[in-house]
């Protein structure tokens, strides 16, 4: 995420998965509110009693794609479209699966997946020309996809103007992303501020906060925006993270602990803010012992789907232990991290460095 705070992963961008008119506390609402694992469990339960539950099919398809379980994700998306061929949301779910898979696919497979993405988005727009998520998807496609698979920045700009008419907040956020891609931070910040000015929506405030939290920008304003965002929508993990990080950087330990406790109450089972604060405590060399405590807390629960893995947490825990002058314990954590995720480079590098 180009607006990330001190290189933090603020939160899974679940707003991008929002569909129209979600049922209260249904799978879609749960996913949007960062309770992805619970959304998956509920979807699985509902599908056992009704295999054609379209909301559960498309939500679970998206979640399986986040987990990179491509075959299952594709099968679920196809079932969603088959169950509701005239549902724009179902077609968009199928497009999302193809798009996410294309990002991870080999060069040979990308064109086919990109074609599938465009096919499903076109079907969705034929059903609902003002579908906000589909418009966002097409903007992202034309911004990121090479010309050989149909990417066209001019077409992306046209979709951005269409989105601006449907939802100005989203429109400005997309224009900010375009500006970030062009490495034009001045224009990007202006777009983020315009997004906030439209309606003062929490998602816009968090986008601006995650950009401003950098010490050389305006961290005080970032904290203010984050507090306003979580006051309106307490489920926003990124908001709690910004606030707690700001307090950590000021070494306001009791305030930081209180903020993280509020986050736990607001988003039960999601300890993402604990992980992110611990990471900042380590990277900024602030307090290894506090980082250790937060990471051990994080390791007591399953990580949210799409959130930092336990392998990553063990790696950071090793760094926190090394900060405290405990090299043997640090090595053990690095080894655990490497075993859990052999593809993770950080633990391997730290092991090599410590072992000489």
Residue 148 pLDDT more than 80? no
Q: Say if residues 20 and 89 touch (Cβ distance below 8 Å).
A: yes
* Of the listed ranges 101-105, 222-226, 270-274, 348-352, the one predicted with least confidence: 101-105
Q: Which residues contact 14 (CB under 8 A, 6 or more apart)?
A: 31, 32, 33, 34, 36
Per-residue model confidence as pLDDT tens digits over 288-337: 999 999 999 999 999 999 999 999 999 999 999 999 999 999 999 999 99
Q: Helix 272-283 vs helix 253-266: angle between axes, to the nearest 10 degrees?
A: 150
* Of the listed ranges 9-18, 59-68, 109-118, 235-244, the one predicted with least confidence: 9-18
Query: Helix, strand, or coil here: 208?
Result: helix
pLDDT reported for residue 20: 38
Q: Which of 171, 195, 239, 193 is nearest to 33 (CA)?
A: 239
Instruction: Give the domains, in start order, of the chain with CATH numbers.
Output: 21-130 (1.25.40.10)
* Of the listed ranges 34-38, 192-196, 259-263, 319-323, the one predicted with least confidence: 34-38
DSSP 8-state symbol, 240: H
Average pLDDT, the chain: 90
Percent of the chain with pLDDT over 90: 80
Rg (CA), the chain: 21
Residue with the two structure tokens 């954590």: 333
Residue with the two structure tokens 């929002």: 18
Greater model confidence, 109 or 262: 262
Per-residue model confidence as pLDDT tens digits over 122-136: 999 999 999 999 999
Its pTM stands at 0.86
Q: Which of 223, 205, 241 is nearest to 8 (CA)?
A: 241
């Amino acid at each position: 995420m180009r607006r990330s705070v001190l290189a933090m992963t603020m939160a899974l961008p679940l707003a991008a998965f929002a569909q129209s008119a979600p049922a209260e506390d249904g799978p879609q609402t749960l996913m949007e509110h960062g309770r992805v694992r619970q959304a998956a469990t509920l979807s699985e339960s509902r599908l056992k009693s009704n295999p054609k539950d379209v909301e559960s099919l498309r939500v679970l398809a998206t979640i399986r794609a986040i987990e990179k379980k491509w075959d299952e994700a594709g099968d679920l998306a196809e079932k969603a479209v088959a169950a509701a061929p005239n549902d724009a949301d179902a077609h968009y779910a199928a497009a999302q699966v193809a798009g996410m898979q294309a990002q991870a696919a080999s060069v040979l497979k990308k064109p086919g997946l990109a074609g599938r993405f465009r096919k499903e988005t076109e079907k969705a727009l034929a059903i609902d020309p003002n579908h906000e998520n589909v418009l966002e998807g097409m903007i992202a496609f034309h911004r990121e996809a090479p010309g050989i698979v149909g990417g066209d920045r001019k077409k992306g700009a046209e979709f951005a103007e269409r989105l601006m008419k449907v939802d100005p907040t989203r429109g400005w956020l997309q224009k900010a992303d375009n500006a970030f891609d062009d490495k034009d931070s001045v224009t990007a910040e202006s777009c983020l501020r315009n997004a906030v000015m439209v309606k003062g929506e929490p998602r816009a405030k968090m986008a601006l906060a995650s950009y401003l939290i950098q010490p050389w920008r305006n961290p005080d304003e970032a904290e203010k925006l984050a507090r306003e965002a979580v006051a309106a929508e307490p489920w926003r993990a990124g908001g709690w993270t910004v606030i707690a990080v700001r307090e950590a950087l000021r070494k306001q330990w009791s305030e930081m602990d209180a903020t993280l406790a509020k986050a736990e109450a607001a988003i039960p089972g999601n300890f993402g803010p604990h992980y992110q604060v611990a990471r900042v405590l380590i990277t900024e060399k602030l307090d290894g012992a506090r980082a250790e405590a937060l990471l051990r807390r994080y390791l007591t629960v399953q990580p949210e789907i799409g959130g930092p893995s336990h392998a990553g947490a063990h790696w950071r825990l090793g760094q926190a232990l090394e900060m405290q002058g405990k090299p043997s314990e640090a090595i053990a954590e690095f080894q655990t991290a490497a075993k859990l995720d052999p593809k993770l480079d950080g633990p391997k590098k730290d092991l090599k460095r410590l072992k000489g």
